[in-house]
Structure formats: C-alpha cells, structure tokens
Amino acid sequence: MRTCPFCARIEATEFRWANDHAVAFADLYPVGLGHTLVVPRRHHSDMFELDPTIRSAVWALVDVVHRDLVTELSADGFNIGLNEGRAAGRTVDHAHVHVIPRFAADVPDPRGGVRWVLPDQANYWSSRS
C-alpha cells in the first residue's frame, strides 16, 4: 500500500499551522508564493464526508492561514478551493483545501479566477451581448 504524502507530513509534524483536527503546510508544488494546503489530521478522501466538527476545523484553519498570509505577504487577493474527486483534478486522496495568495499583476488578466479550470467556459464576459 502506498503511503499518503499528507499523512506522512502530518506524522513527521511538517506543518506550520494546526488546530485539534487540521494542519496546514506549504504545497510541495506551489502555483505561487505562499500556496498552502489545509488538511484534516485524520485521513479521509472526501471533504463532504468528514464529520462536521472536523470539516469546520479545516475551514477555521483556512481563516488563520489566510490572515497570516495577508500579513506576511501583503497578498492582494486569494484563490481558495478544493478539487473534490478525480474528475475535479484531485491527485492526492486526502481531503485538502488550497489557499493561494494572489498579487496584483501576477497574471495579465485575473478575471474568471477558478473558472479557468474549464478554459472554454472561463471567459464568459466576452460572449455577453
């Protein structure tokens, strides 16, 4: 059986933020400065099947990470989300939330944000009459 990379990081205490039910650590393959993952301490693949207390703890830690990254990096915005299921692009089967700081001019046109996961549908503003 292959070891979950997130469980391995939790066991090795390779995290910066934590509460009773969740931890947060830098993404090993960041899309930008400060890209952080918030994960439940216990292995479970589906965020929506977590006990509500644990799911709330994950989102509470997202708040803490967001606040700290705003202060430390002076981020101008954030993309925060999850890839729930393989069809949505999840590659590690341990529930997790991406917290991605964004900065003015880090891309030429940030409009559409997460809509760009389906590029043909992202630029809706150009097709409106």
Which structure tokens are listed for 58? Answer: 């994950």
Q: Supply the pLDDT for residue 115.
A: 80
Neighbouring CB atoms inside 10 A of 40's CB total 23
* Residues 91-127 pLDDT 10s: 999 999 999 999 999 999 888 888 878 777 777 778 7
Per-residue pLDDT at 125: 75
Residue-range domains of the chain with CATH: 5-127 (3.30.428.10)
Of the candidates 111, 101, 110, the residue with the CA atom closest to the CA atom of residue 31: 101
CA pseudo-torsion sign 14, 18, 21, 23: negative
List 21, 94, 96, 98, catalytic entry = 96
Residue 1 has pLDDT above 60, yes or no: no
pLDDT tens for each residue of 42-100: 999 999 999 999 999 999 999 999 999 999 999 999 999 999 999 998 999 999 999 99
Is residue 65 within 8 A of residue 99, CB to CB? The reply is yes
Comparing 129 with 83, the larger pLDDT belongs to 83
The Cα–Cα gap between 21 and 23 comes to 7
Residue 43 annotated to the active site: no
21 band by pLDDT with thresholds 50, 70 and 90: very high
Q: Specify the higher pLDDT residue, 105 or 2.
A: 105
